[in-house]
Every structure is written in structure tokens, then in C-alpha cells.
A = this chain, B = another copy of it.
């Protein structure tokens, strides 16, 4: 397996140094201390700190005081996530990167190379973050959570749409548990806070006719974005959990809780199938009961009242009294006030 710079710093002693610095927020840790604790020479410590800096971690070398991780509370620390996790499958292996092109691309590469189910790739920033339908997902550093989870569910590929609902419910649960926020869900894969988009999901799949090889659950959650952080030309009204809750969010804590919630939903799905997922989604649905217009490139739009989702995760739209259309994919907009 070829390792990027960012991956190198997250294996072995560079990762241990990062953990030690993160465990000492606002207080520098001396090179001597690191060297003693990790059984490394001073030169080896220095070399690994240089690697971490090169990978983008904000480490300041303070003459005669040692090394300080600036904004340590904001850095996502894998060993802290691992210590917090209670789940069995999701998060069995966590790879944290300072910067990458796209965590989905990284995770797919790991999956192709045989990474086990539950492997997670997290990045502080993405230079080519992906949204649905080839769109871009804004991924500035120091603010949000960008992560991709490898799963290998034993279901036929037609059921893959189920999996998006697991991610969105996990985000709702984590935001409710940690911040007391009540999020709602817009079909197929948007998560809304106060009616504005605060998270996006992009699943990618490799499958044969009747079995899934792997699915990458791509999850982007706006955590500490401020209103001025958003680009002015966004296609939709956007917000962050920090704006909605008025609190600065500990990204490591949120990441761990999210992965735990996802583990719970994945476990439930495997044991009981889609029905409990569908029921939970319906309760949080922003879409159901509204008059909507669903458009999809290349197909004519459908207008009507959204009545729910079916057992495959398709949106049900009543286009005229008694006539229900099943929508497999598309963009939903409110077409004329609440129904």
C-alpha cells in the first residue's frame, strides 16, 4: 500500500507525538519529555515533528519550551476518537489526515486494497471534496468534519440507497445527544438545521450484479463554520451546528459520537432490516407532507405531495389524487408552500 505524507504521520511515533501534544492544550511539551516518553532520540522527535508540520498540523517550536500544538482543542485526534468509541464495527481503524483531496477517494483506495469494514478516513480539510452529481463540497480546514466510512454490507446493490439513511440518522442522533439540536432530513440525503443544510452525504459503491463489494459512506458535517465562512454563491441556504447551537463544537468528540451512532444504526439495520430506519427517517422528515417538485437531469420533473419513502428508500409523491409516483433519484424543492 502506498502511503501519503498525511498517512505516514498517522502511523507509529509521529501519531504518538501528535497525541501527546493534543493532550496538552495551551502548554508546550519539551523535546526531552517526548523523547523520554516515546523512547526516541531527540533527533527522531525533531524529525517527526517536522513531518507533522509538513502535513499541515499547526505545531509551533518554542525555543527552550518545546513544542506546542496551537488550537489543540480543534484538532481531530484519532487516539481520542478511538478511546471514546463504544461501537463494535465502525471505527475499528481510523486514519486521520491533515489535508487530502477527497476522503471518499482515499477510502475507496483502502477498500480496494482490502481494508476491513468499519475503516474510517477523516481529514481536517479536503482540496477536492465531492458532493452529489459531480458537485463540489466546500471543505476548509479547522472547521468541520469530513469523513468516509468503509462498509461491506451483505445486501444486493439495489438496496444500497438504504445506507444513506443510516448516515443521516446518525448525524441527527449525534447532534441531539451532544448539542440538543433537533435536525430534520430532506430526501434523499440532506440534513437540515433550522431548514438550512448543515451536512451532506455522498455514498459510493462498487458492486457486482447481486452483491456489494463495498460502499463508502461519505459524510460532511458543517460544525464550526461561521456565517462568513460560507461562499456567497452556494446553491442552497447553509448553516453549521455551531451557528444553530451557539456553541463551539469539539470536533473529536463529535466525530466519535457520530461513528458510535452510525455503528448503532448499522447494527440495527443488519439485524432488523430497513423498516426501523424508514420509521425513524419518516419522523425526522422535512420532505413528507410538503408539496414538492423533484427534478432529475434528463428526466422530466415530478410535482406533487411527498407522502413518504417506500421499502427501497424511493420517495413517494402523490402527483394527483390517488396516483403515487416512486422517485429513485433527484433534487427536491418545495414547489408551493406547505401542503
Q: Give me the interface of A with B, judged by CB distance under 8 Å.
A: 132-134, 154, 156-161, 164, 188-189, 201-211, 296-298, 312, 314, 328-330
Contact = CB atoms under 8 A, between A and B. Distances in A.
Contacts of A297: 154
Question: Which of the listed residues A160, A188, A314 has the most CB atoms from chain B within 10 Å of its own CB?
Answer: A160
Given A132-B208, A202-B208, A159 B189 contact: no
16 contacts: A132-B209, A154-B298, A158-B158, A158-B160, A158-B161, A158-B312, A158-B314, A160-B209, A188-B209, A201-B209, A202-B209, A203-B209, A204-B206, A205-B206, A210-B328, A210-B330
Contacts of A209: 132, 160-161, 164, 188-189, 201-204, 329
Contacts of A164: 209
Contacts of A160: 157-158, 207, 209
A190 to B, nearest CB: 11
B204 A207 contact: yes
A318 to B, nearest CB: 19
SS class, residues of chain A in contact with chain B? mixed
Nearest to A331: B210
A156 B328 CA distance: 7
Contact of A132 (B157, B159, B210): B210
Contacts of A329: 156, 158, 209-211
Contacts of A208: 132-133, 202-205
Contacts of A132: 208-210
Given A154-B297, A205-B206, 19 more contacts: A132-B209, A132-B210, A133-B208, A133-B210, A154-B298, A157-B160, A158-B158, A158-B160, A158-B328, A158-B329, A159-B328, A161-B209, A189-B209, A204-B206, A204-B209, A205-B205, A207-B207, A209-B329, A210-B296
Contacts of A133: 208, 210-211
A328 to B, nearest CB: 4
A204 B164 CA distance: 21
A173 to B, nearest CB: 21
B154 A157 contact: no
Question: Which of the listed residues A133, A204, A210, A296 has the most CB atoms from chain B within 10 Å of its own CB?
Answer: A210
Question: Which of the listed residues A188, A208, A297 has the most CB atoms from chain B within 10 Å of its own CB?
Answer: A208
Contacts of A328: 156, 158-159, 210
A126 to B, nearest CB: 16
Nearest to A213: B204
Contacts of A154: 297-298
